[in-house]
Amino acid sequence: MVRFVVMAAGLASRMGRDKLALPWKETTVLGYVLQTVLEAIKLQEHNSPQCRIEVHVVSRQPIGAYVSDEGITEFERYGGIWHDAPSSRPLAETIRIGLQNLKKEVHSLAFLPGDQVGITVQDLSGCLDVVLRSFPDFLVPIAGDKAGSPVFFHKRYLPELLELQGEQGGKVVLNRYPDRWYKYPVEESLFCDVDTPEQYEALSANM
């Protein structure tokens, strides 16, 4: 089993408002990312009916701020868990919230920023396929010499992830073991996210 943790509890100080609630296509920024995750899971389950994947979202607002009623139904149908974190949380704390109550069947942990609108169903499904077949220590999407998200960690690194402090993220653990990475090739556009009003306007114009 794989646990996805969608990270959506940051302050978004460069945007000046909750960027995850901004309109994106037919939904919101976070709604689109979550929709993409669910579509990738659906595709993976079609190809491999025995696979099991769960989704946890750590967010500053309730799900209704980002997702339509229809989307909420779909999220719940896949057993999604929404963790409310009303105040902004340091990255390490967001990780700990997303890793609560792990089932013993979980073998891999995946982390995805809630504003990564460049994510695609095909790439996400491809990453899942590798993880579910070969259980790598780490799966890291790579575009040229640039690494990005989502990153998958084998459960054996859970103690190190839980020891992170403050704004330390999974990269701290990841960078201790560069020789253990499974590098998954992607286009750099996969890493596209929303950080500033100017970036959001530019990306929206090209939707």
Q: Is 61 exposed, middle or buried (0-12, 13-18, 19+ CB in 10 A)?
A: middle
Estimate the crossing angle of helix 29-47 against helix 121-134, to 10 degrees: 50
pLDDT at 80: 93
Give per-residue pLDDT as tens, 38-69. 999 998 887 776 778 999 999 989 999 999 99
Query: For residue 26, which of 16, 35, 39, 15 has the smallest C-alpha distance?
Result: 35
DSSP 8-state secondary structure symbol assigned to residue 196: S
pLDDT band at 170 (very low <50, low <70, confident <90, very high): very high
Q: Say what the pTM is.
A: 0.92
CA angle 13, 207, 200 (to 5 degrees): 15
Task: Tell me what the mean pLDDT of segment 87-104 comes to.
Answer: 89
Give per-residue pLDDT as tens, 189-206. 999 998 887 887 887 777
